Amino acid sequence: MNPIQIALLGAGTVASGVVKVLERNREELRRRAGREIAVAAVAARNPDKARAALGGALPITSDFEGLATRPDIDIVVELIGGISPARELVLSAIAAGKHVVTANKALIALHGNEIFAAAQARGVMVAFEAAVAGGIPIIKAVREGLAGNCIEWIAGIINGTTNFILSEMRDKGLDFATALAQAQALGYAEADPTFDIEGIDAAHKAAILCAIAFGVPVQFDKAYVEGITALQSTDIRYAEKLGYRIKLLGITKRTEQGIELRVHPTLIPANRLIANVEGAMNAVVVQGDAVGPTLYYGKGAGSEPTASAVIADLVDVTRLHTADPEHRVPHLAFRPEAMHDIPILPMAQVVTAYYLRLRVADQAGVLADLTRILADAGISIDALMQREAGEGEGQTDVIMLTHDTTEARMDAAIARMQALPSVLAPIVRIRKEELR
């Protein structure tokens, strides 16, 4: 059987990994897929630079549109990143009857619904395993491996940059700015790290997982997103003393009221496996009604880990290349006509527990005032710790862990506590999840 012909759009780090792994594992992949997977050509903005990076044997062009629609191409692999021209090229490839493989989480999070509808109408596949958690096969696990379950919730460390920063802050006592600079020096963070440290990258991935888990459209615009830029090493230390670690989690959860979709720093019990994922690694916990909790761990980025996911998609598409489109695995796990429009809950309706740190005057009655406000709001305290004030200091930190309550109730309680003259600084609030 003739090789299946693929076109690589982009010649960066991931494309280089794809070329290397395809060549190194050529025979193994042929045995798995039933035919050889061959790179027909590569499109690059700078062909000379691409030749140096990929070797001189591959045809390289600067005509992205021409390559994406070329008649002899079977699968277009989009590795450009960003929204434009990636979106336009993917839609052109689909219109030309090409299958598409992409590692572009932003593209799927923002335009996945449009892209999947176009692919469904044209009878082609769009595969995107590499868009979430790099080399961890989490898309396939949720979409296919756990198909016998009703997924209850997913919680994941799905951004390696922020996990590296938080690990450095905890292990070495660094402040955020110093840990970020170290991440940049080691190549874990971009020169402009905004998408990572503000939680946007993790939210792109969480929105994709949400859609696959619950059979709803991709709805990145409805996600609550909070990054780690305001996180202080003081709170990491207090969390440790209370038996918790702080991670940036992407969380999506099915409730009776709707679906939660949120990204924010989160206290996790230190004895949970996911709490011990350090450095730039990723991990995702999926809770199914039949299987219980399952954990997926590995490298969330990098040339060959991401290439691993891209090539797994290439093998899947090659196997199903000539299959009846009606009998392929649906893009978002559920048949398009069976998708639900379950509402994504606003953050005010989300139920979770909280860590609060209050800098207060060291005087009688302060603690009673604070606990009374929480009691009035119907919020119960799970644990309480007070730092011993130094001689003549006149102020101290009060740390509280609460039981579950709605965000709206907590907002109202914090506003009342903040108004007390004995509360001397803005109250720090970090959400807490037990992940039972």
Which sequence positions are flagged as catalytic?
205
Which residues, including other chains, have CB under 8 Å from residue 208's CB and lie 6 or more apart? 105, 108, 109, 112, 128, 131, 132, 139, 218
Tell me the Cα Rg of the chain: 24
Assign 3-state DSSP to the chain and report helix, strand, coil percentages, each to 5.
40, 25, 35
- DSSP letter string over 34-92? SS-EEEEEEE-SSHHHHHHHH-TTS-EES-HHHHHT-TT-SEEEE---SSTTHHHHHHH
Number of residues assigned to the chain:
436
SS3 of 403, please? coil
Dihedral sign of CA atoms 177, 178, 179, 182 in order? positive
- List residues bridging with 360 in a β-sheet: 396, 423
The verdict on whether omega for the bond into residue 421 sits within 30 degrees of 0, i.e. cis, is: no
Residue type, 300: G
How many CB atoms neighbour CB 301 within 10 A? 20
Are 245 and 267 in contact by the 8 Å Cβ rule? The answer is: yes
State how far the Cα of 400 lies from the Cα of 355, in Å rounded to an integer: 6
DSSP structural state of residue 327: G
- Helical segments of 377-423, H only: 407-418
